[in-house]
Amino acid sequence: MRIGLRVFLGYFAIVALAALLLARVFVAEVKPGVRQAMEDTLVETANVLAELATDDFLAGHIADGRFAERVKAMQARDLGAAIWGFEKRSTATRVYVTDARGVVVFDSFGRDVGKDYSRWNDVYLTLHGKYGARSTRSDPNDPNSTVMHVAAPLKSADGRIVGVLTVAKPNQTLAPFIERSQRKVMQWGWLLMGAALLIGLLTAWWFGRQLGALKRYAHAVTAGERATPPKASGEFGDLGQALETMRTRLEGKQYVEQYVHTLTHEMKSPLAAIRGSAELLEDANADRPMADADRARFAASIRTQSERLAQMIDKLLALAAVEHRQMLETRERVDLAELAGEAVAQCTQRMREAGVRVEHGGIAPAFVEGDAFLLRQAIANFIENAAAFAPAGSTIALDIARNGERVVLTVADRGPGIPDYAMPRVFERFYSLPRPEGGSRSSGLGLCFVAEVASLHDGTAALANREGGGAIATLDLPAA
């Protein structure tokens, strides 16, 4: 099944379910809501009529007094009303009054006078000082024949309940309004559902079209055909560009050639020095003996250059391992201050040879989450880089500080600093600056390694000139 069709069917299922639930809930609330409004009106009507009927009831003229005449006249009146498109010509409201025993003494319809209503909830509850109401079928076999009865008490001058006045109205009189409301709800529901499905269909078509273009592009690249990334918008455009970048880096011979060329160029210098020293040592014979000092110097040169080559290879392998890692597989809580101390101990021999020492500044426990080995190596690379440029007898300043939610480690020296032309390239692979006093260049991989380690830890690495002379290297990491 195509993904566009899957998206559409999933969207259809969600919209249909939401529409069904909304319709059922809304429609289910229409009828009770209308009846609640009618009951509220009947409560007020019953209490108004109860006040008007009290005098005739206490005087014993509830059946033939002015109240009875007015109620009968009201039922004969032509209402002539038009309620939201529905005509109303006559009243369907029934009014009856019972005495303290629950016996009907007045009925506006004139049919149940003398009957005992004391069992009905409207009369029974009201006589006992409670709110009395009921909904009863006028025809036991017809569920649509329910009539709502709401009662109000008739009270004597001393506050005693001496009778009950009930107003009754068939629920069927509300049927036209309820049916129209339900019909409107369903009509708009179907309209909205149709619009939602149309939008879903267009969205699924667009989604499938974008993915189809990316799929064809991927197949073309796999087949070795010349292909350009499809024109797309939003995340699909970003995905297409990412695929193009990946293809360029996987197939880019220029990148590979430049990498190999740079590596070969960097290895030529130490190899040439080794070969030259070896040839001079081979040419020495009995007729032309070589002085011991020269022999020692050439042997030392061979050793130094071979160590440089070994160091370059080791660092290149370490850098390659870091560059190919998309993320850290495991993270642990580590104290950067403790790692810095271990890195300083690791660089002791290198600093002794350079004649420099490390001065610990503001170092306090500062915890980060990451790979302890990689972080230790990154700090050691910073220290070794500073030792290579720091003047003999100077001090390298190592500081760790907490800056909000970040931990910042700095390594500063008092060397010659960084030339302006080199500033954009200091973290570039194989790029290195000449050492003071003619020292040999490094592999140019240490700072690149630090930048990759910082990126793996969601941090940054930076190198800048220090105020007063020298350079300052910064490792900025998120605090644990």
Query: pLDDT digits over 338-359, tens only?
Result: 888 888 887 887 788 888 888 8
pLDDT, averaged across the chain: 78
Q: Where in the chain is the domain with CATH 3.30.565.10?
A: 328-480
Confidence at residue 323, expressed as pLDDT on a 0 to 100 scale: 52
Buried b (16+ CB within 10 A) or exposed e, 295-314: eeebeebbeebeebbeebee
Confidence at residue 153, expressed as pLDDT on a 0 to 100 scale: 95
pLDDT tens digits along 319-338: 555 555 556 667 888 888 88
Distance separating alpha carbons of residues 409 and 364, to the nearest angstrom = 11
- What Cα–Cα distance (Å) separates residue 180 from each residue in 33, 183, 309, 327, 359? 14, 5, 90, 62, 87
Across 14-18, 105-109, 237-241, 421-425, the highest mean pLDDT is recorded for 105-109
Distance separating alpha carbons of residues 258 and 281, to the nearest angstrom = 35
User: Closest by alpha carbon to 57, among 1, 11, 97, 3?
Assistant: 97
Distance separating alpha carbons of residues 226 and 131, to the nearest angstrom = 86
User: Closest by alpha carbon to 23, among 192, 196, 200?
Assistant: 192
Structure-model confidence comparison of residues 269 and 433, the more confident one: 433
CB 477 within 8 A of CB 456: no
Confidence at residue 251, expressed as pLDDT on a 0 to 100 scale: 52
Sign of the C-alpha dihedral computed for residues 460, 466, 472 and 477 taken in this order: negative
Structure-model confidence comparison of residues 80 and 380, the more confident one: 380
User: pLDDT confidence of 313, banded at 50, 70, 90?
Assistant: low
Across 85-89, 193-197, 269-273, 465-469, the highest mean pLDDT is recorded for 465-469
Confidence at residue 6, expressed as pLDDT on a 0 to 100 scale: 66
Q: Where in the chain is the domain with CATH 3.30.450.20?
A: 37-179
Confidence at residue 143, expressed as pLDDT on a 0 to 100 scale: 79
**Which phi and psi angles does 16 have, rounded to 5°?**
-65, -45
pLDDT at 193 exceeding the cut of 80 = no
Instruction: List Cβ<8 Å contacts ≥24 apart for 41-47.
Output: 42/148, 42/150, 42/167, 42/169, 43/133, 43/150, 43/152, 45/93, 45/150, 45/167, 46/150, 46/151, 46/152, 46/165, 46/166, 46/167, 47/152
Which tokens hold the place of 67? Answer: 């109240």
Alpha-carbon 80 to chain mean position: 60
pLDDT tens digits along 244-285: 666 665 554 544 554 455 456 456 556 766 777 777 677 665
Confidence at residue 252, expressed as pLDDT on a 0 to 100 scale: 47
Q: Which fold has domain 37-179?
A: Beta-Lactamase (3.30.450)
Distance separating alpha carbons of residues 62 and 55, to the nearest angstrom = 8
pLDDT tens digits along 46-74: 999 999 999 999 999 999 899 998 988 88
Which of 170-179, 330-339, 470-479 is predicted with the least confidence, judged by mean pLDDT?
Answer: 170-179
Which tokens hold the place of 82? Answer: 């038009």
User: Closest by alpha carbon to 384, among 281, 478, 477, 473?
Assistant: 473
For the chain, what's the residue count? 480
Q: Which fold has domain 328-480?
A: Heat Shock Protein 90 (3.30.565)
Any idea what the Cα angle at residue 127 is, between residues 57 and 152, rounded to 5°? Answer: 60
Q: Half-sphere exposure of 129 toward its Cβ, with a 13 Å CA cutoff?
A: 2
